[in-house]
Amino acid sequence: MSTKTRTVSACLLAAAVGGCLCVAGEPATQQQMPPRTATPHADAAPTYVYSSRTYASADKLRGATVENAAKKNIGSISDLIIDRGSGAVAYVVLSAGGFLGIGSKQVAIPFSSFGWDPNDRRLTLETTPENAKLWPEFDEKNWSGTEDSLSSRLSRDYYRTPQNYYPSSAGSDSTHIKGTVTRVDRRAVPGSATEEMVVTVRTNDGNEEDVVLGPSYYLAGNSNAIYRDAPIDVVVSRVDRDGRPVVVARSYNVQSKDTSLYDNSGKAHWWSWKKSNSNQPIGYPFLLNSEIDGKHINARGEDCGKVDDLIVETGTGRVVFLSIDPDQNVLGIADTKRLIPWGVAMVVTTDGVNLDATKAMITSAPETPSDLAMLANDSQFRTIYQSFGISEPYYYDRDWDNNSWNNRRGNPARRDRDVRDHEPK
């Protein structure tokens, strides 16, 4: 990514809250599981080569010192605010100013405002300690809990979606699609910093149909997870998006459990920031890094250890891997930490992390290297995605402008992701 530093001012917040987003290519041809990918395009190209990517341990980022280009100490990183669905680091919680914790103030700053120093392997921020304190204050006690909490306010800014992108009325054309889930995709939502989850359903007559469920952050906070190979019954509406027909789910049934995606008036449930179940705190689109550490892992119904660390690709700020302690040995002694792609994390709640993977796949995954530079230079780590039946993500750095790329393909459905012309309905 570009190593240039970025000027930070209070007025940048409105433009920067969009965070960062990356998309991925089509699945590998040899797969051990049905594909679960993150892109609608096979010919997308990364803006920089694989070997130039850099990775950082989230555990080591927390507590790290942040400086500006003049080597002035701006503060230290106390936490990371992560998109529950895509795994993108949306904001960094910075303890700004002060000495030995005295006089410091915790603030939430968009990850896109930071630079990366490849030599010292640390985040940088081109501002002063005084200006850093002008960002929205992060108070852990009031992080979530009310609709006026910081998590809710940031969510309403970060997750804005173009008007009418999802149906806003109950509609009379609802029909059922029944079959088996063969594919789970995550696709960029035009005009938004988020992505939506799309399932491919193979019906009994052998036909396949793509069904849009809704924003991935919402589905990743819903305990009724959808896995590949699972039988599913979806109530859908057929709508028009930018001149093309799209099938959108209104509710679905998996594991003999119904999940409604819209209320009786037709309003999508994700437009409400109120607590919807015991596992989903207010502000559910976001997770704190500290909330994920140590969470237990459920691998298709089987207990499989806990989260040991998160691995962040520094160009995009995307959490690309979970480092998992699978608890293979007695009392967890001498366990080997394993790398698991974030893309198989179906549900992340206060109870734990549910993976669309088997325990055997997890325990046979590559060991988490002590030197994360190996992730860019060793080809064995590229095969992780293939072994889990998902495609390797494309990594776009934060200076990349996807507008010309979208226009070159003449696809009216893909607009610039940073355009926010409409509030959610």
Across residues 277-289, what is the average pLDDT?
70
Paired with 210 in beta bridges are 200
Task: Select from 3.30.450.20, 2.40.50.140, 2.60.40.10, 1.50.10.20 the CATH code of 175-271.
Answer: 2.40.50.140
The superfamily in CATH containing domain 58-159+285-292 is PRC-barrel domain (2.30.30.240)
What is the tens place of the pLDDT at every residue in 41-80? 333 344 446 667 889 999 999 999 999 988 899 999 999 9
3-state secondary structure of 400: coil
CB 85 within 8 A of CB 215: yes
Q: Give the span between the Cα atoms of 118 and 21, in whole angstroms.
A: 21
Q: How confident is the model at residue 395 (pLDDT cuts 50, 70, 90)?
A: low
Across residues 105-130, what is the average pLDDT?
90
Mean pLDDT of the chain: 76
Residue intervals in the chain for CATH 2.30.30.240: 23-54+293-415, 58-159+285-292
Q: Taking the CB of residue 336, how many other CB atoms lie within 10 A of it?
A: 14
Q: How confident is the model at residue 33 (pLDDT cuts 50, 70, 90)?
A: very low
What is the tens place of the pLDDT at every residue in 221-276? 888 889 999 999 999 988 888 788 899 999 999 988 999 998 887 888 887 655 55
Contacts of 183 (CB under 8 A, 6+ apart): 34, 35, 36, 37, 199, 200, 228
CATH fold label, 23-54+293-415:
SH3 type barrels. (2.30.30)
